[in-house]
Amino acid sequence: MAEPLADSETSEPVQADAPAKGAVLRALLRLGEAFTFRAFRNLWTAAFTSAVGTWMQRFAQQWLIYDLTGSAFYLGLDMFIGNVPLLLFTLIGGVTADRYDRRHMLMASQMLQMVCALILTALVFTETVRLPYILVLSFTTGLAQAFGGPAFQSLIPALVPRRTLPNAVALNSIQFNLAQSVGPLIGGLVFTTLGLVACFGINSASFLVVIVVLSLLQVTPPDPAQRRPVMEELKGGLRYVANGGALLALTILAISTTSLGLPIRAFLPVFAGDPNTLSHMMTSLGTGAVAGALVVAWLGSFERMGLTLLRVLAGFGGLISVFALLPVSPVSYVLLFLAGSALLIVFSLTASLVQLNVPDELRGRVMSIYLMAFRGGMPLGSLASGYLTTFASTQTIIAVNGGLLVLVALYFLARSHGIREL
């Protein structure tokens, strides 16, 4: 499956009298090594297109909920409702990804999300949108992602060789977070010129790109002869992670990071106060994330990845605490940029270390456990943080979350549990 592009498609001859040009070319090839594999490049492009639409909708939906309710609690509730299916069904999604054609799972996931976006578009267009409708659609979208996520993560190693996997994971983070940067910015422009309806409508159309690319992708499906009862396969994956030492520690680290670090995304409307500032804040966070993922893509596989992961996590916790405690100013955008960079370095390194330490036959199940921790921490953290904002200010809660993240990083730096040695 991991077939590289022909040389004529990946590079140009480096002239002997142009060492600078050659150095630049080598640097670009190092950053984008996984792009030399056509299947990965095509899927990356399609996923980026869809992710831009998703972040447009997420920006518009956050503002719609805040406009309807004026409450930070309901922002957290929507995040919880949208992500709780990941806690309930991602493990089953991982088993399914190890049993059936992952392309078909992804296509079904994309189609269901497209239908949800179309329904929300119609509700806003007819001015019949209500908070309960939004929450139901968020839950349904999360259900689709619970099955699509493990399939997508399991598909990436089939598109590139093992040595290129850390680069592919980092580039995948770049596409998602470049979309996070571009999507809200485009969403803000679309919102101010065409209105909310256009934000949701454009997102619904973006899913078609992924569906078309997946229909053309050639991937060998799992061997049906190796299937065992669903519960037996599920228990096998859980046992492997529980006995995996560093894999279990990485899973705990993932849920700690998302539950304590990501509520800042859900509560940005509270800090922003208006759609324009919110768009710029989300863009700063997303742009920083792209920069962080570029750093990981450049580094590739290197020694002491685990130690680097823990140090950057401590820095991320400190950054969001400072952002929460300072009044909104130009410095806030710098802090969000740095926080986004640190967050994506943490995410990319964690995902790379998990992918590099799991066998192919268990990849879907192990990645589903990681994704459940990674994505499941978001609803738990957002709901808890949203509830706590009824007793203290949002700024205080986010600052405390950042401090707790620093403590988590310091604990693993001291005790390791296998992470420092990776």
Please report whether residue 6 resides in a domain. Answer: no
Please report whether residue 289 resides in a domain. Answer: yes
Q: Rg of the Cα trace of the chain?
A: 21
- Banded pLDDT at 10 (limits 50, 70, 90): very low
The residues, ordered by sequence, that sit 6+ positions from 7 with a Cβ below 8 Å of its Cβ are none
Please report whether residue 421 resides in a domain. Answer: no
Predicted structure pTM score: 0.68
For residue 281, the surrounding DSSP H or E stretch is helix 275-299
User: Which whole number is the average pLDDT over 130-157?
Assistant: 88
Contact (CB, 8 A) for 154 and 96: no
Helical segments of 326-393, H only: 330-356, 363-388
Please report whether residue 161 resides in a domain. Answer: yes
The token pair that represents 283 in the structure block: 């863009």
Q: Is the pLDDT of residue 139 over 60?
A: yes
Maximum mean pLDDT: which of 134-143, 189-198, 258-267: 134-143
**Mean pLDDT taken over the chain:** 81
The token pair that represents 267 in the structure block: 């509560």
Q: Is the pLDDT of residue 221 over 70?
A: no
Residue 83's domain comprises 33-216+226-415
Please report whether residue 248 resides in a domain. Answer: yes
The residues, ordered by sequence, that sit 6+ positions from 399 with a Cβ below 8 Å of its Cβ are 320, 321, 324, 325
- Banded pLDDT at 225 (limits 50, 70, 90): low
Considering only residues 244 and 171, tell me which one the structure prediction assigns the higher pLDDT: 171
Helix (H) and strand (E) counts for the chain?
17, 0
Considering only residues 413 and 376, tell me which one the structure prediction assigns the higher pLDDT: 413
Please report whether residue 340 resides in a domain. Answer: yes
Tell me which DSSP letter residue 274 carries.
S
The pLDDT value given to residue 109: 92
The pLDDT value given to residue 222: 63
Q: Is the pLDDT of residue 226 over 70?
A: no
The residues, ordered by sequence, that sit 6+ positions from 227 with a Cβ below 8 Å of its Cβ are 99, 233
The number of domains in the chain is: 1
Which pLDDT tens digit goes with each residue over 46-72? 889 888 888 888 888 888 898 888 887
369, HSE (Cβ side, Cα atoms, 13 Å): 26
- Banded pLDDT at 223 (limits 50, 70, 90): low
Please report whether residue 201 resides in a domain. Answer: yes
Please report whether residue 253 resides in a domain. Answer: yes
The token pair that represents 381 in the structure block: 């953290």
Cβ neighbour number for residue 4 with a 10 Å cutoff: 14
User: Which whole number is the average pLDDT over 227-256?
Assistant: 73
The pLDDT value given to residue 4: 45
Which pLDDT tens digit goes with each residue over 60-119? 888 889 888 888 788 878 878 887 887 788 778 877 877 777 888 889 999 999 999 999
User: Which whole number is the average pLDDT over 4-26?
Assistant: 51
We report the CATH number of the domain holding residue 152 as 1.20.1250.20
The pLDDT value given to residue 177: 67
Distance in angstroms (rounded) separating the CA atoms of residues 83 and 139: 7
User: Which whole number is the average pLDDT over 329-342?
Assistant: 91
Rounded to the nearest 10 degrees, what angle do helices 330-356 and 275-299 cross at? 40
The pLDDT value given to residue 5: 42
Which pLDDT tens digit goes with each residue over 162-176? 778 778 877 887 777
- Banded pLDDT at 232 (limits 50, 70, 90): low
Which pLDDT tens digit goes with each residue over 273-311? 787 888 788 888 878 887 887 787 777 777 788 888 999
